[in-house]
Amino acid sequence: MPLIYKTIRWTMGVVFIYAGTIKLLEPASFAVLLEAYGIIPDPLILPVAAVLPALEVAAGAGLLFDLSGSLSFITGLLVLFSFITSYGIWMGLDVECGCFGPQDPEADAFHGLKTTLLRDLVMLAAALFLFGWRRHHNIEPRRLNHMFDSFHPKRSKKDAHV
């Protein structure tokens, strides 16, 4: 598989694993950042602050291993994040994006959501590139149930009939 495809896929996977892990370590702090956007009902803020990062980590790991559905899920997350960030910009919110947890170095460096939106759009373009690459080169992502086939010895035809 060409290096460009792997590099983009692995980079996006690592970014999502890192971002999700940082937020999983401090879900209460991430919940405060989510609350600042004002779009999640109060009773759901803490569950979303725990589940969303876990999904990011799982999807990032899936992208590392090129598992079926992971690129689609990450693309969906990027679309969602782009809409939320656009909403924050439109509302004039002066909040950290929370993308990399409560101690978001991007927020300290750039103080604004416009840079976050640009990053999300670049990653969305990269995801669309991966979809195009897959289609053009007939690449089929692995199915989770087939991922571990290489670890199991092949059954003989005799064993298959038992």
Residue scoring higher pLDDT (128 or 108): 128
Instruction: Choose from 1-10, 34-43, 121-130 the range with maximum mean pLDDT.
Output: 121-130
Residue 105 pLDDT > 80:
no
Q: Sign of the CA dihedral 97, 99, 100, 105?
A: negative
The reported pTM is: 0.79
Q: Where are the alpha helices (DSSP H) in 26-142?
A: 27-37, 42-64, 70-91, 105-110, 113-136
User: On the CB side of 148, how many CA atoms lie within 13 Å of its CA?
Assistant: 3
* DSSP 8-class letter at 67: B
* pLDDT (0 to 100) of residue 98: 74
103: confidence class by pLDDT, cuts 50, 70, 90: low
Residue scoring higher pLDDT (161 or 154): 154
Q: Is 142 helix (H, G, I), strand (E, B) or coil?
A: strand
R_g of the chain computed on alpha carbons: 19
